[in-house]
Structure 1
Amino acid sequence: MRNCLKVLPLALASLPSFAAELSQQDLGATGALVSSCAGMASGSFPVEGSLFDWQPGLSNCNAAMTTTPGQQLTASGAYTQAAPSVQASSHGSATYGSVGMYAHFRANASAGFAAAESTAGWTDTWTLIPADPAQIGQNAVVSFSVHLDGVLDGLPIGNSYTRIGSQVWLNNAPVAGQAFRAQGQGQGGFPFHQVIAQDVAFSVTVALGTPFELGVFSRASAGTAGAGPNWFSEASSDFASTLTWQGISGVTLGGNAISYSLTSQSGTDWTVASAPVPEPSMALLLSGGLLALALRRRA
């Protein structure tokens, strides 16, 4: 029995923690999170990694975070109301280096800004040690990329939006100019459809030899683009598989490549690409109420 009591705290420490909604600010020096919500929003677009703009008491959110590399998180959110009609759902998955996000809604615009969104990402504390000790303390540029793979769809009815965005964070602040965003609208008679399958390059400036927190946070969202008229809108943002870290492409000092070594608080090797997070299983789709939507989309 004594041996069991000694092991139990270690086992509990590796389990993910859960909350209604999470943001980058909820993570410490290292961690991964997923936060999936649906409901009524104000119509703005907060920076990826921040909390969404939900109206108080008019949303359903579930989230999870972990500091254990390799541990996969999932979270789903759903919101419905009868009149004016709103049906919205989202699902997300995350682990260090790879996330998946899905959002879908169908609603009468007279209800207001109905929306669904899934936010996911990770942060870790890095230290870059140059091979030349004389370079310690100097500012270097770290270049890296992620692979983004998904589909934006807006039906040709009403007025909807569908959106994907990714934002780099450095030392608890979003980095200006280091974001990728794509968005479109489905409107009366005009559908929107965009397939995204590409590597997206980013870079940040850091001090060599000094620890820094680096994170990538993304959000898939879909919702009503204009509130008020008595029409139905429908859209989805399907990035369930996925956004994946592609590794460091280089570290430069004064425009010249340098040799370096990297350590991270999580123990993750960020110099190489991460494995993609698996797509949701059939059981998970059923539990989240997404199977019918997935089959409808594929049909």
Structure 2
Amino acid sequence: MRHRLALLPLALVGLPALAAELGQQNLGATGALVSSCAGMATGAFPIEGDLFDWLPGKSNCNAASTTTPGQQLATSGAYDQATPSVQADSHGSASYGSVGMYAHFRANASAGFAAAESTAGWTDTWTLMPANSAQIGQNAVLSFSIHLDGVLDGLPTGNSYTRIGTQVWLNNAAAGGQTFRVQGQGQGGFPFHQVVDQDVSFSVTVQLGTPFELGIFSRASAGTAGAGPNWFSEASSDFASTLTWQGVSGVTVGGNAIAYTLSSQSGIDWNVPYAPVPEPSVALLLSGGLLALARRRRCISIR
């Protein structure tokens, strides 16, 4: 059974912060972000959570962040160039526990490394307190999973790439070995098509009783795989409703499962999977419908 991420009351509820482009380093101890961009890049692949490799003055980015659990963010970016022809666009969404990303491009390879990408993710400060107080200060392995769902497509013309990647961050550093990536190329008469629909498991080592920052950042990207010849390439990475938190699967010390309690700065209970919070209008309609039904039943019983 899927459970809702439990939220504790927050003292402040603010509007999302807007920026041209955001990465993991722009978030503090807790927050969620989405950054959608398109333009001309160097052809490198920065790690998920870092800023992309855009050429100066040749990209369009929009980004937003929030520290309010349940708040939904959305951004988009587009870049158009007449000669050599480039059309690229992206959009994304984010909240604590769930992000979506989409990237698409079509370009003449003589323009260089045209690309579109959307980066989204969140970070929060956790504390794991063992039921056995003697274990405070010991190292423990925290295991958890996400669900990733989307489609990668590269058309069989030119030479394009399409890519999805997810990186775990621990205490403001990329966690070694805690990465999931899928990538393919469409080129010279050979299309690339891959559906990704799976749970992905990760694990990190933390100290019991000591706060730590845990982040999940993902990026969907598509672009020119080889610049130079005068031909067109096209590809997309569609994970627009994609990555969702699946909860903690266990905490172990020395390979043995332990009992613990989890607290977070955001107030979210990360033990359980993400489930969307109904929009206020939907909640009002539901409550109104239930109230009307209750009144109808009351009238029937009186008769």
| TM-score, with length taken from structure 2 | 0.87
| CA deviations over 1:153-184 (Å, ceiling 9, x no partner) | 00000000000000000000000100000000
In 1: Cα distance, 2:92 partner to 2:273 partner: 21
In 1: Cα distance, 2:62 partner to 2:216 partner: 20
Match of 2:57 in 1: 57
Which amino acid in structure 2 is aligned with residue 72 of structure 1? Q
- Note if contact 2:70-2:277 (Cα within 8 Å) is conserved in structure 1: no
Structure 1 segment 135-214 matched on structure 2, within 5 A: 135-214=135-214
Match of 2:14 in 1: 14
In 2: Cα distance, 1:13 partner to 1:273 partner: 23
Match of 2:35 in 1: 35
Which amino acid in structure 2 is aligned with residue 275 of structure 1? A
- Note if contact 2:156-2:189 (Cα within 8 Å) is conserved in structure 1: yes
| CA deviations over 1:79-111 (Å, ceiling 9, x no partner) | 000000000000000000000000000000000
Which amino acid in structure 1 is aligned with residue 268 of structure 2? T
Structure 1 segment 86-97 matched on structure 2, within 5 A: 86-97=86-97
Which residues of structure 2 form unaligned runs of 5+?
1-9, 279-303
Give yes or no for the alignment of 1:66 onto 2:66: yes
Structure 1 segment 233-252 matched on structure 2, within 5 A: 233-252=233-252
Shift in Å, 1:275? 2.0
In 1: Cα distance, 2:88 partner to 2:277 partner: 24
- Note if contact 2:74-2:93 (Cα within 8 Å) is conserved in structure 1: yes
In 2: Cα distance, 1:73 partner to 1:197 partner: 23
Match of 1:109 in 2: 109
Which amino acid in structure 2 is aligned with residue 111 of structure 1? A
In 1: Cα distance, 2:34 partner to 2:19 partner: 10
| TM-score, with length taken from structure 1 | 0.88
Which amino acid in structure 2 is aligned with residue 129 of structure 1? M
In 2: Cα distance, 1:248 partner to 1:125 partner: 15
Which amino acid in structure 2 is aligned with residue 244 of structure 1? T
Give yes or no for the alignment of 1:221 onto 2:221: yes
- Note if contact 1:41-1:115 (Cα within 8 Å) is conserved in structure 2: yes
In 2: Cα distance, 1:15 partner to 1:189 partner: 48
For the residue of structure 2 that corresponds to 1:102, the secondary structure is strand
For the residue of structure 2 that corresponds to 1:179, the secondary structure is strand
Shift in Å, 1:241? 1.2
- Note if contact 1:30-1:125 (Cα within 8 Å) is conserved in structure 2: yes
Q: CA RMSD in A?
A: 1.4
In 1: Cα distance, 2:150 partner to 2:241 partner: 7
- Note if contact 2:154-2:192 (Cα within 8 Å) is conserved in structure 1: yes
In 1: Cα distance, 2:94 partner to 2:83 partner: 34
In 1: Cα distance, 2:232 partner to 2:254 partner: 55
In 2: Cα distance, 1:135 partner to 1:13 partner: 36
Which amino acid in structure 2 is aligned with residue 16 of structure 1? P
- Note if contact 1:39-1:79 (Cα within 8 Å) is conserved in structure 2: yes
For the residue of structure 2 that corresponds to 1:25, the secondary structure is helix
Go from structure 1 to structure 2 and tell me whether the alpha carbon gap of 1:167 and 1:39 turns closer, same or farther (over 3 Å shift): same
- Note if contact 1:22-1:63 (Cα within 8 Å) is conserved in structure 2: yes
Match of 1:268 in 2: 268
For the residue of structure 2 that corresponds to 1:181, the secondary structure is strand
In 2: Cα distance, 1:91 partner to 1:36 partner: 5
- Note if contact 2:167-2:216 (Cα within 8 Å) is conserved in structure 1: yes
For the residue of structure 2 that corresponds to 1:134, the secondary structure is helix
Give yes or no for the alignment of 1:99 onto 2:99: yes
Percent identity between matched residues is: 83
Which residues of structure 1 form unaligned runs of 5+?
1-9, 279-299
- Note if contact 1:242-1:277 (Cα within 8 Å) is conserved in structure 2: no
In 2: Cα distance, 1:269 partner to 1:14 partner: 21
- Note if contact 1:80-1:88 (Cα within 8 Å) is conserved in structure 2: yes
